[in-house]
Amino acid sequence: MSFTIAIDGPAAAGKGTISKAVAAHFMMAHLDTGLLYRAVGAQVIAGSDPLKVAQSLQAEDLQRPGLRTAEVAQAASQVAVMADVRAELLEFQRRFARRDGGAVLDGRDIGTVILPDAEVKLFVTADATIRAQRRYKELLEGGFTTSFEQVLSDVLARDTRDRGRATAPMVVAADAVVIDTSDMSMETAIAAAISAVQKGISS
């Protein structure tokens, strides 16, 4: 039986960590849908046509190294504005979600466009400055050289683009449970997400 959990929210709010933990807890498969846009963005940086890349994208492309850089994140956000690119990536996500045993998908438009009938929808968010602080720490720990101001400006630019685009903008689904992680430890945020999903399963 398929059971889908949609987890949306802006960059660096903790939705990746929460999604992985929720999937592990309920023994479901997990798809980080940002990787689809990052895989397209990375190939566009290398000179390819975004639509052609989206049309021929394979699951293996999501495993390629280098998809987590700040440059690829911006390119992903730019290709994500293109309606034809989004349309090409839609079926891959729905097919993934339909599997037996259930699936957790995280992204920006999962609860609103990709899986409007998801059994549970969460929207994980946090104050932009706090998100930038977290991302800055992650980048430094990952060996990248950058400044906090640069990371904050990247986070704000992506927020504006992801919220403002005409097709599938990032909005809170009417039936989503909002988890604001600004003042939460990651453990508390994960516990809140698991409890919201548990309620959804029981109702």
Amino acid making up residue 71: E
Please tell me the total number of residues recorded for the chain in this structure: 203
Q: Is 50 in the site for ligand DC (CB under 6 A)?
A: no
Chosen residue from 30, 108, 131, 135 binding ligand DC by CB under 6 A: 108
Q: Is 83 or 201 the residue whose CB approaches ligand DC more closely?
A: 83
- The answer to whether 12 and 88 have CB atoms below 8 angstroms apart is no
- The answer to whether 104 and 30 have CB atoms below 8 angstroms apart is yes
Q: Is 30 in the site for ligand DC (CB under 6 A)?
A: no
Q: Is 34 in the site for ligand DC (CB under 6 A)?
A: yes
Stretch that binds ligand DC, among 46-54, 55-63, 70-78, 95-103 (CB under 6 A): 70-78
Beta strand pairing call for 103-107 and 120-125: unpaired
Q: Is 57 in the site for ligand DC (CB under 6 A)?
A: no
Q: Is 99 or 161 the residue whose CB approaches ligand DC more closely?
A: 161
| Neighbouring residues of 155: CB distance < 8 A, sequence distance ≥ 6 | 10, 11, 12, 128, 131, 132, 135
Residues that bind ligand DC (CB under 6 A): 11, 33-34, 37-38, 73, 76-77, 80, 107-110, 158, 162
